Amino acid sequence: MRRVETRLGGLLTQERDRRVAADGYAACLVGDIGALVRVGYRIRAAVCVTGYLAAGGDPKGAEIVDAAAALELLDTSHLIRHDTRDGAVLRRGLPTLHVSHAAEHERNGWRGESRRFGEGMAVLAGDLALALADRLAVGLPQRARSVWDELRTDRVLGAYSEAARAGEYRDEPWPAECLGDCGHGCAAGWYAVEQPLLLGAALAGRRDLDPHYGELGRAVHAGWRLRGFLGGGQGFDGMARLLREVLFDQDSHDRAELLITEQLDRARAALRAAPLRADWRAELYDCLEALTRP
């Protein structure tokens, strides 16, 4: 993962330095993205890299580094946009971009409406993060590029579907679809675990792993979403809090913990069936099981 950190840092520093002399405002926007990326969790990047190495990918390969870094920038793009839509105040301990740019506008007495300015700048920052992600992904082999394109599309449509369900009062905080078979209509969607795994397998030239990684990813994602519900993580506030506090007694909590255990058993079964070395099965399981811990 150190190579991924270096790739991200180098790309953003180079882009900022290239812009700073010509346009300080442009350099500021690059800096906004850099600040968020520096404090990212690297979950999807770690899943992708581990899936790639478990599949027998070259540890010295450059394409896996670009793919993992692209996943981080894609995630940053969508987090910026998600926060703007939801009116969030903080992200990763930092003021969200629409808030900080609105404050900048008001502080400097610029013309126009501060709130709209802040939201507009956040949208542009999300566009820039996506453009940089695509710059890294453009050179991926065709099979990996196809996974990348599907991942990008699914995430946008999943976010739209989730917002529409919430607007129609049809959103269900309990992640029942994830337990069934990781359905659409979830902003986390398949991009969270399954598609990073498939991206790693594609880069390693192991299409035979697709069904195994698919089943593994869906099981771990279901357990992860259950843990998010129980812990009040991102995407599980509001109605989810009401459900937990009013209707979710200790027996319900225990049953949910049992469901997480069942999903991890499902993940282990998928790994046992996968044509991987035993040590890499264990490594990949440890990487993914961490997502379901309290």
Q: Are strands 94-95 and 90-91 parallel, antiparallel or unpaired?
A: antiparallel
Rounded to whole angstroms, the Cα distance separating 48 from 133 reads 15
Q: For residue 83, give the nearest of 23, 49, 125, 55 by alpha carbon.
A: 125
Rounded to whole angstroms, the Cα distance separating 110 from 266 reads 56
Rounded to whole angstroms, the Cα distance separating 149 from 147 reads 5
> In this structure, are residues 229 and 256 in contact, taking their beta carbons and an 8 Å threshold?
yes
Residue with tokens 């986390």: 188
Rounded to whole angstroms, the Cα distance separating 170 from 283 reads 39
User: Of all helices (H) and strands (E), which one includes residue 114?
Assistant: helix 114-137
Q: For residue 133, give the nearest of 195, 70, 209, 68 by alpha carbon.
A: 70
**Per-residue pLDDT tens digits of the chain, which is 294 residues long:** 899 999 999 999 999 998 888 888 889 999 999 999 988 889 999 999 999 999 999 999 999 999 999 999 999 999 999 899 988 898 878 899 999 999 999 999 999 999 999 999 999 999 999 999 999 999 999 999 999 999 999 888 888 887 887 777 766 777 777 776 655 545 555 678 999 999 999 999 999 999 999 999 999 999 998 998 888 777 777 777 888 888 788 888 899 999 999 999 999 999 999 999 999 999 999 999 999 998
Residue ranges of domains in the chain, CATH in brackets: 1-139 (1.10.600.10), 173-294 (no CATH)
Q: For residue 137, give the nearest of 128, 125, 149 by alpha carbon.
A: 149
Confidence (pLDDT) at 34: 93
Confidence (pLDDT) at 187: 53
Confidence (pLDDT) at 282: 96
Contacts for 174 with CB less than 8 Å, ≥ 6 apart: 229, 240, 243
Residue 208: DSSP 8-state: G
Confidence (pLDDT) at 185: 47
> In this structure, are residues 33 and 12 in contact, taking their beta carbons and an 8 Å threshold?
yes
Confidence (pLDDT) at 182: 59
Q: For residue 41, give the nearest of 162, 146, 179, 196 by alpha carbon.
A: 196
The pTM for the full model equals 0.92
User: Of all helices (H) and strands (E), which one includes residue 270?
Assistant: helix 250-273
- Count H helices, E strands: the chain? 13, 2
User: Of all helices (H) and strands (E), which one includes residue 95?
Assistant: strand 94-95
Confidence (pLDDT) at 127: 96
Rounded to whole angstroms, the Cα distance separating 239 from 197 reads 31
Name the phi and psi angles at 104, rounded to 5: -60, -45
Q: For residue 96, give the nearest of 73, 69, 115, 74 by alpha carbon.
A: 115
> In this structure, are residues 65 and 7 in contact, taking their beta carbons and an 8 Å threshold?
yes
